[in-house]
Amino acid sequence: MNGSALLLSLLLPLLQGEPAPPRPGAEGAGDPLFPGLGNGGYDVERYDLVLEVDPDAAEIEAACRITATATHALSALNLEFGTLEIASVTVDGASAEWRRSGRELTVTPARPIARGARFEVAVEYAGSPRPIRSRAFPLPIGWMTFGDESYVLSEPEGAASWFPCNDHPSDKALFTFAVTVPAESTAAANGRRVGVDEREDGARTFRFEVDEPMATYLATLAIGVFDVVEGETDDGVPLVHYLPEGTADDYADRIAFTAEVLPWLAERFGPYPFSTCGAVVAEVPFPGALETQTLPTYASVAFREDVIVHELAHQWFGNSVTVREWEDIWLAEGFAMFAMWLAEERDGGREAYDDAVREQHAQARALGVGPPATPPVHDLFGLNVYVRGALVLHRLRVLLGDDAFFEMLRAWSAEKRHG
Ligand code: ARG
Ligand code: ZN
């Protein structure tokens, strides 16, 4: 065929309105740092997760229903899913073929899915969730069990340890959770707690609804024996804290701090983007914290004022305004680090802020820390991202002056809200 005949043969079906033939969705979302992570060909609208957890055996039985829209005609589609045993996979209620290769789960529906069609994939599964190893983080990520307690900290690629998903921040979705645990345990997850049902045997089902889009890495679940402390911030955002049994009084000061610092952050960053807030505090042998949406999770050693400010700042920067590709993570960590310097200023005035900036700047220079926006995958959570990211914001603050700078932060969080 000559060029124009070839072009015509390609264009003719389009001109005649013939739909493109179905093809498999891509196996990756196109993230340069994580080529296999996420998938193409569809856009998830919501995850409805139902889990029954046996803490003694460290086993779960679960069902995940994914509601999505096809962005092209699909003959098959991929999800990320770890090592749990699959009992069944259906697409729109009809049994579907599936195969797994590493973390990629390929689902082939009985009939292709049309472009633009809304469809449901339901996966039933069971087993003992295991954390995932990532080149991007030195500790195991995802579902972690300590004795009869479990916590989920997935950033950046651990969500597949507990549910099948399009595990990439470019595809945020709504979530519901219904988690059944034995009488003595409590389950906590992101979002609003909308109900608790009790069975005859005393087992309880805790139901949560996430009202705002959420990235898969921010989905969390905590199962343990907790003191549950409810309250609200000084400007009326409901707060729920899940604390190790018997520690509610010990942490009263940190809960009070959260209640006053969240409105303080909102004055600088714009309205708090979610309908609830709080924390899970875990008495466990891992250091650190994660900004799990509406419910940051802290190791007890990390449940300190500076870390609280960091994880709360992420609710704006990271959780509401989310990276489309992981290499842009300074847009989350740089802002959260910068918020910690602002908190120094809140306590000790501009001098304390300047001291913090100067100290971190000197350290970054001495160590030859690289630029913030092009981290290698093994340095996704390094000083380049955190400190040099925050230094970018400091420089903008100095150049623009406080009025324009904070106006810019509020405009950024408003324009990109839930995006
Ligand atoms: N985003 C976290 C923070 O700066 C660090 C990453 C934690 N990830 C994890 N899987 N624990 O607070
Ligand atoms: Zn952070």
Average pLDDT of the residues in 250-276: 98
Phi/psi at 143 (5° precision): -75, 125
The pLDDT tens digits of the residues spanning 31-67 come to 999 999 999 999 999 999 999 999 999 999 999 999 9
Half-sphere exposure of 282 (CA within 13 A, CB side): 31
Tell me how far the alpha carbon of residue 137 lies from the centroid of ligand 1, in angstroms: 8
Distance CA 104, CA 102 (A): 6
> Given a cut of 70, is residue 362 above it in pLDDT?
yes
Residue 187 pLDDT grade (very low, low, confident, very high; cuts 50, 70, 90): very high
Beta bridge partners of 78: 106
Q: Which residues line ligand 1 (CB under 6 A)?
A: 137, 141, 153, 155, 288-291, 310-311, 333, 381
CB 276 within 8 A of CB 259: no
Which residue is closest in CA terms to ligand 1's atom 8? 155
pLDDT at position 286 is 78
Work out which ligand 1 atom sits closest to the CA atom of 286: 11
Mean pLDDT of 210-236: 97
Average pLDDT over residues 395-405: 98
Instruction: For a ligand 1 pocket test, name from 135, 153, 155 the mutation site with the most ligand atoms within 8 angstroms of its C-beta.
Output: 155
Residue of 294, 330, 333 lying closest to 418 (CA atoms): 294
Tell me which residue has tokens 């409805």: 48
Whole-number Å distance, alpha carbon 18 to ligand 1 midpoint, is 47
What confidence score (pLDDT) does residue 4 get? 64
Note the ligand closest to the C-alpha atom of 314.
Answer: 2
- Give residue 40 CA to ligand 1 midpoint distance, Å: 26
Sign of CA dihedral 409, 410, 416, 419: positive
Residue 137 is predicted with a pLDDT of: 95
**Atom number, ligand 1, closest to the C-alpha of residue 141:** 10
State phi, psi for 20 to the nearest 5 degrees. Answer: -60, 145
Q: How remote is the CA of residue 162 from the centroid of ligand 2, in Å? A: 22
Q: Which residues partner with 224 through β-bridges?
A: 186
- Please state, rounded to an integer, the average pLDDT across all residues of the chain: 96
Average pLDDT of the residues in 376-402? 97
- How far apart are the CA of 322 and the centre of ligand 2, in A? 13
pLDDT band at 13 (very low <50, low <70, confident <90, very high): low
- Which residue has a Cα nearest atom 3 of ligand 1? 290
Dist. CA 418 → ligand 2 center (Å): 18
Res 105: pLDDT = 98
User: Is pLDDT of 2 > 70?
Assistant: no
Ligand whose nearest atom lies closest to the CA of 389: 2
Give, to the nearest 10 degrees, the angle between helix 252-269 and helix 305-316: 40
Find the ligand nearest to 217 CA. 1
Minimum CA distance residue for ligand 1 atom 2: 290
Q: Ligand 1 atom closest to Cα of 134? A: 10
pLDDT of residue 335: 98
- Name the token pair of 409: 């932060």
d(CA 283, CA 308): 16
The pLDDT, as a whole number, for residue 405 is 98
Closest ligand (CA of 153)? 1
The model's pTM: 0.95
The atom of ligand 1 lying closest to the CA of 332 is 1
Contacts of 43 (CB under 8 A, 6+ apart): 68, 69, 71, 171
Nearest atom within ligand 1 for CA of residue 291: 12
pLDDT of 1 > 60? The answer is no
d(CA 210, ligand 2 centre) in Å: 21
Q: What percent of the chain has pLDDT over 70?
A: 96
* Average pLDDT estimate for 144-166: 97
Pocket test for ligand 1, best of 381, 386, 387 (most atoms within 8 A of CB): 381
